[in-house]
Amino acid sequence: MANAEAIVSPPFRATGSSLARNRRRAAVLFIAPATVLLLAIFVYPFGYALYISFTQWTLGQQSVPTWAGFANYAGLVGDGRFLNAIFRSAVFVGLAVSIELVLGFLLALLFNKHLPGFGIFRTLAVLPVMVMPVATGLVWFYILNFRYGPLNALLRSLHLPTQNWLPNPTGAMAALILADVWQWTPFVMIVLIAGLRSLPEYVYEAAELDGLRPVETFFKITLPLLRPVILIVFLLRFMDAFKLMDLVFMLTKGGPAGRTETLSYYIYVLGLQLFRVGLAAAVSILFLIFISIATQIFVRYMYREQTGDEFA
Amino acid sequence: MNENRQSAMRLRRRQLLEAILALGVARLAPAAPVAAVAATAARAAEASALNGAEVKALFVGDPFAQASQRVIADLNRMAGGTISMQVVDFDSMHQKILLDAPSASPAFDVYSWEFSWLGEMVGANALRPLDDFVTRDAELLKIDDIPKANWDATLWKGKRYGIPVQPHAELTWWRTDLLAAAGLQPPKNTDELLAAAKVLNKPDDGVYGFLWKGGRGAPLGQTMVHAFAAFDQPAFPNWQSGNWMPALNTDNAVRATEWVKEMVQYAPPDYLNIAWDDEARRFAQGEAAMTFTWFGRESFFSDPTKSKIVGKYAAGPWPSAPGLSARNSFGGWVLGLPAHISPERAEIAWRFVRWYTSAPVERLLIENGNIDFPRISLIRDPALQKAHPVFKTVLELVDQDAFKAWIRAPVPEFVALTDLLGTTMQEMLIGGMTPKQACDKVQADMIVSLKRTGKLT
Amino acid sequence: MTTRNLTLGANVRNLAVEVAPAVIAVARRLGTVALYLAVLIYLIFCLAPLLFMVLASLKSDVEIFDPKALFSFTPTLVNYQEVLTGSTGAAQAAASYMGASTGPRALLASAVVTIISTALAIIFGSAAAYGLARYPFRGSRDLAFFILSTRMAPPIAFVLPMFLVFKALNLLDTYFVLIIVYTGMNMSFVVWLLRGFFQEIPIELEQSALLDGYGRLDVFRKIALPLAKPGIIAAAIFSAIFAWNEFLFAAILTADHVRTLPVAITGFSTSMGIRWGAFMATAAVGIIPIFILTVLLQRHLVRGLTFGAVK
């Protein structure tokens, strides 16, 4: 029985110091430009944000920040609004990303088929991702509106009970998830299609020669080979869903009564509506720490099987 | 950099095209008689305000800015220069004015600011005092023509920081036909309003008693502040003497909150999602018998192609609790100059502001969609009154001096307050706490907030 | 047809054998139909909101809020006119075309920023992705994590510090600043996405090429890149979408000179409400260039070219 691992990662050890120098030079050549750019753009702002998080600074009321030590962080410990925001974010990200991954994968398999017209269908299916996030929120706000929204109009015409979607606490969260799934599932789908299509032909030819049935091919070859792509798409969606703000802003403004106030929306309110930039920075730093830890866990799991294989 | 050359080329190309278009527009002028008449009048009043210069303005996307965009060609001609206008949303306006206006070389020459931001702006050193210009050009400004409440609200600790360009006020609106059918008089106080809402609330017929703004945050928060004022409760009664203790859980405040809670029974089920001009649109569709909305929204009600209630509505001030005098909040926009603008640009910017807020130009904007009361002469004008009956109501309020600045105190804490009210009161409305508990919580939270910024010890 | 003399069982068996291919063909056809049906259902879900968006953009503001005017209304182009020229009257539209603050100028600004930042992100990002995938060194995992971490923080955390930095450098309100920031923000996405794709490529292909005497850069350009093309296309599409639709940094870091589309659209959000018709029209207009770009790039979203020669 053919094994995907054996096909794609034969051991190959490099020898010789000039070869090692060559490798190092190549590594630097490839990686340096991007790294330098990122360091230049992000290191100072991050440091400054870290500094601000230790200050009490409200724009418009103070012209300079005043040092406050850990006061911002300490204040967050018992802050009900902060803890609520964490909970709401967890619910939203958990549900939305799970749905997007599963649905996106199924759709990738579906839309990947080489049937007539599917090329156009694929292009059409990407449209939701292209819409400006604020516009997405507004459109769904319109659709779900109790009085004049098309969804309730549809229910009415089918003589089904109409729902008061957005003012309802559970309904509001469901609406948020629905809008996010609508907008981002195509992203998952396209990336997975790209992944499926970059799997080399001859792997499948070899599998066929070895007499594998389609189902076995899928589970023993396709899925393992796709693993890096699946995991990266999960990681990206995980991070982006946590950062989501525009949708909440347009759809629910965190309501009703804070039931959909996610962490990133809370940061927006703190920083750019109340101008309490010190506290906003503190919450952002905590946000960053949490996401870093979570992604570290995922990344280590993802690459735990990567051996120290050297390449040429 | 290359972009400098590119932008220079673009500018030259644009000027050439504008010249060509100007010739074409001159031929099109007969098709726009109203604009032409206003244009000549304005030109006579203020010859070449800009003198060929360019002025860079950052405006919020409110009706005055949008009306300006519609007639920008006329405005440029009338001003004798180029108005480079950027239009942004409310939050962005607030952010930009805080981040950019205080800087040593501001990106814009003119900023629009909201009345309630005044304290914050001065504290951030964002605005240039305009007393020297105002004294110099007092006659040209025609200060008597500016409603007193608006003019006073541009003062902070004795210095003048702007010229009002779009003040607006929230009024009560009701359906004359529905009230008449039920044999009711227009409500004069909070009790009558509540009673009328109850009687007129017929959800089975698709008509609710009152369209209420319950949107989270500022929409509900501002409504609550108005409600407090109706029951004679300013949020910070003594802020002007330096005492910042808020008064948010007094008997008056609790009574106001209870009144609100009773009112929402007669509102559509999704009132918690109604924000800003949703209530105006829905009122225009005939969804409710009464509502509160900014009076500029009259344009929704009076246009037969858009409104189902043409001729069937009237407006009045916000109600007060029985026995209290009339009091109406007002808000809106003021034009100011950034603090560190250079003297040359300050002169250009000032001439622009002086010209832009003058009656002829404001009239042009009113005719193009900006329903507003920046100048008393305009709301007195019979032709405009005929086109916009609500001007009569506003005129009465101006004459009665009913507009009170204390309702929306121009202090930074006001934003924190509306945010706090907007969230806690929503909780109260969905049944999470009683009115008294909600008031106590808001009071406690506000005190914490004030202690943090050092306003309270 | 001499079946009359055989048993019933044999009859049935013969019938089955003759009918079977037809049944399988029908089942396969039904299966295909089912696939098309599934695609159709999903596309309805995808496109219905966009349909309502376009419908709303063709209505006057008040009609949008009339539940009975959902489909029966008289379409009007006044919203598009306002978005593209900033005016609602025909004469004024013509006159103010070149001075308009929305519409064409914003589209151009957005296009410039998007195209350049996407191109830079792909170029630098794919190189870095390849380096991380094929040239691991001690600490390369940490470096990769650092690159990923630039995507973790909510933009609001960075926007004020960045404002201060660029202000000090006098770079505010330039195309340069937006391009740099967007390139940086897209970089981590491109790197991590393409790292996965490069890792999918069987390593022996490149190894044999190296043995054959190809230079490392050639191996990257001629073997890895073409094989990762679907990934590159996907990365390009989504980087472009991100740059095109990005609002927060554009709003804070630019002022008068540079105005991108998302910033221009916010002018329709007044302090007293949102001008729905104009908002929807701008959103609809904003989709078109990206859609065209996607259509052009989708053709390349095909399986990587085979490499029989290397095999």
Concatenating the DSSP letter of every residue in B368-412 gives TT----S-HHHHH-HHHHHH-THHHHHHHHHHTT-B-GGGG--ST
- A312 in a domain, yes or no? no
Alpha-carbon gap, residue B226 to B237, rounded angstroms: 14
Alpha-carbon gap, residue A73 to A138, rounded angstroms: 34
**Percentage of the residues of chain A whose pLDDT score is greater than 70:** 91
The candidate with the shortest Cα–Cα distance to A141, out of A164, A161, A166, A162, is A166
Structure confidence at residue A287 as a pLDDT band (50, 70, 90): very high
pLDDT value of residue B409: 83
Whether the CB of B80 is below 8 Å from some CB of chain C: the reply is: no
pLDDT value of residue C88: 53
pLDDT value of residue B340: 93
Give Cα B217 distance to the centre of its chain.
Answer: 17
Task: Provide the residue count of chain B.
Answer: 457
CA angle B223, B228, B234 (to 5 degrees): 120
pLDDT value of residue C92: 45
CB contact under 8 A, B216 and A254: yes
pLDDT value of residue A297: 87
pLDDT value of residue B22: 46
**Is a pLDDT exceeding 90 seen at residue B219?**
no
**Is a pLDDT exceeding 70 seen at residue B9?**
no
Cβ(A139)–Cβ(C45) below 8 Å: no
- A142 in a domain, yes or no? yes
Residues A230-253: b if buried by 16+ CB within 10 A, e if exposed: bbbbbbbbbbbbbbbbbbbbbbbb
Whether the CB of B316 is below 8 Å from some CB of chain C: the reply is: no
Residue bearing tokens 């009115």: B435
Q: Tell me how far CA of residue B107 lies from CA of A133, B5, C15, C108, C209, in angstroms.
A: 28, 20, 86, 21, 56
CB contact under 8 A, A167 and B412: no
**Could you give the angle at which helices B218-230 and B251-263 cross, rounded to 10 degrees?**
120
Cβ(B456)–Cβ(B246) below 8 Å: no
B26 phi and psi angles, rounded to 5 deg: -55, -35
Higher per-residue pLDDT: B422 or C96: B422
- Comparing alpha-carbon positions, the chain C residue that sits nearest to A143 is C49
- Comparing alpha-carbon positions, the chain C residue that sits nearest to A13 is C207
Which chains would you list as touching A if contact means 3+ CB atom pairs under 8 Å?
Answer: B, C
What is the value of pTM for the model shown?
0.81
Looking at residue C220, what DSSP letter applies? I
Other C-beta atoms lying within 10 Å of the C-beta of residue C114:
26
CB contact under 8 A, B66 and C275: yes
CATH number at A231 reads: 1.10.3720.10
Whether the CB of A223 is below 8 Å from some CB of chain C: the reply is: no
pLDDT value of residue C129: 92
CB contact under 8 A, C145 and A27: no
- A289 in a domain, yes or no? no
Structure confidence at residue B10 as a pLDDT band (50, 70, 90): low
Alpha-carbon gap, residue B294 to A59, rounded angstroms: 29
Task: Provide the residue count of chain C.
Answer: 311
- For A228, the domain range is 88-270
Arithmetic mean of pLDDT, C267-278: 71
Other C-beta atoms lying within 10 Å of the C-beta of residue B180:
11
Q: What is the largest CA-CA distance in chain A?
A: 78
CA angle A305, A306, A307 (to 5 degrees): 105
Higher per-residue pLDDT: B37 or C252: C252
Alpha-carbon gap, residue A174 to B258, rounded angstroms: 31
pLDDT value of residue C91: 44
**Percentage of the residues of chain B whose pLDDT score is greater than 70:** 89
- A307 in a domain, yes or no? no
Alpha-carbon gap, residue A157 to B78, rounded angstroms: 54
CA angle C296, C288, C46 (to 5 degrees): 90
- A165 in a domain, yes or no? yes
3-state secondary structure at position B273: helix
3-state secondary structure at position B59: strand
- Of A50-59, B133-142, B145-154, C219-228, the one with minimum mean pLDDT is C219-228
- The total domain count for chain A is 1
Find the Cα–Cα–Cα–Cα dihedral A125, A127, A129, A135, rounded to 10°.
Answer: -140
Nearest to A197 among C189, C230, C287 (CB): C230
**Could you give the angle at which helices C229-245 and C104-134 cross, rounded to 10 degrees?**
140
Number of Cβ pairs < 8 A linking chain A and chain B: 82
B408 phi and psi angles, rounded to 5 deg: -115, 85
Cβ(A121)–Cβ(C43) below 8 Å: yes
Alpha-carbon gap, residue B48 to A33, rounded angstroms: 54
Alpha-carbon gap, residue C57 to C49, rounded angstroms: 12
Structure confidence at residue B5 as a pLDDT band (50, 70, 90): low
Structure confidence at residue A6 as a pLDDT band (50, 70, 90): very low
3-state secondary structure at position B328: strand
**Sign of the C-alpha dihedral computed for residues C87, C93, C96 and C101 taken in this order:** positive
A276 phi and psi angles, rounded to 5 deg: -90, 75
**Is a pLDDT exceeding 60 seen at residue B15?**
no
**Is a pLDDT exceeding 80 seen at residue A53?**
yes
CB half-sphere exposure, B82, CA atoms < 13 A: 15
Arithmetic mean of pLDDT, B187-202: 91
Alpha-carbon gap, residue B41 to B134, rounded angstroms: 23
pLDDT value of residue A304: 60
Per-residue pLDDT tens over the stretch B269-286 = 888 888 766 788 888 888
- A123 in a domain, yes or no? yes
Arithmetic mean of pLDDT, C229-243: 90
Q: Which residues of B touch A (CB under 8 A)?
A: 91, 94-95, 98-99, 102, 120-121, 123-125, 215-217, 268-273, 275, 282, 287, 412, 415-416, 419, 423, 426-427, 430, 432, 452-453
Task: Give burial (CB, 10 Å; 0-12/13-18/19+) of C138.
Answer: exposed
**Is a pLDDT exceeding 60 seen at residue C94?**
no
Whether the CB of C87 is below 8 Å from some CB of chain B: the reply is: yes
Please name the residues in contact with C200: beta carbons below 8 A apart, sequence gap of 6 or more: A195, A198, A199, A225, A226, A228, A229, C228
- A137 in a domain, yes or no? yes
**Is a pLDDT exceeding 70 seen at residue B18?**
no
Arithmetic mean of pLDDT, B438-449: 91
Contact residues, chain A, for C215 at CB < 8 Å: none
Arithmetic mean of pLDDT, C203-216: 85
Structure token digits, residue B440: 């106590």
- A41 in a domain, yes or no? no
pLDDT value of residue C87: 55
pLDDT value of residue C306: 36
Contact residues, chain A, for B91 at CB < 8 Å: 272-273
Interface test with C, best of A31, A197, A225, A235 (most C CBs within 10 A): A31
Arithmetic mean of pLDDT, B187-199: 91
- Comparing alpha-carbon positions, the chain A residue that sits nearest to B117 is A60
Task: Give burial (CB, 10 Å; 0-12/13-18/19+) of B174.
Answer: buried
Alpha-carbon gap, residue C43 to A122, rounded angstroms: 9
Cβ(C301)–Cβ(C103) below 8 Å: no
Arithmetic mean of pLDDT, A243-252: 87
CB contact under 8 A, B416 and A257: no
Cβ(C178)–Cβ(C113) below 8 Å: yes
**Percentage of the residues of chain B whose pLDDT score is greater than 90:** 29
The candidate with the shortest Cα–Cα distance to B76, out of B94, B54, B57, B92, is B54
Partnered with residue B84 across adjacent β-strands are B56
Partnered with residue B338 across adjacent β-strands are B127
Residue bearing tokens 């005497």: C213
Summary mean pLDDT of chain A: 83
**DSSP string for residues in C259-290:** --HHHHHGGGEETTEE-HHHHHHHHHHHHHHH
- Of A101-105, B15-19, B343-347, C108-112, the one with minimum mean pLDDT is B15-19
**Is a pLDDT exceeding 80 seen at residue A28?**
yes
Partnered with residue C195 across adjacent β-strands are none
**Is a pLDDT exceeding 90 seen at residue A133?**
no
Contact residues, chain A, for B208 at CB < 8 Å: none
Alpha-carbon gap, residue C113 to C183, rounded angstroms: 9
CB contact under 8 A, C207 and A12: yes
Arithmetic mean of pLDDT, C22-30: 78
Per-residue pLDDT tens over the stretch B336-375 = 999 999 999 999 999 999 999 999 999 998 888 788 888 9
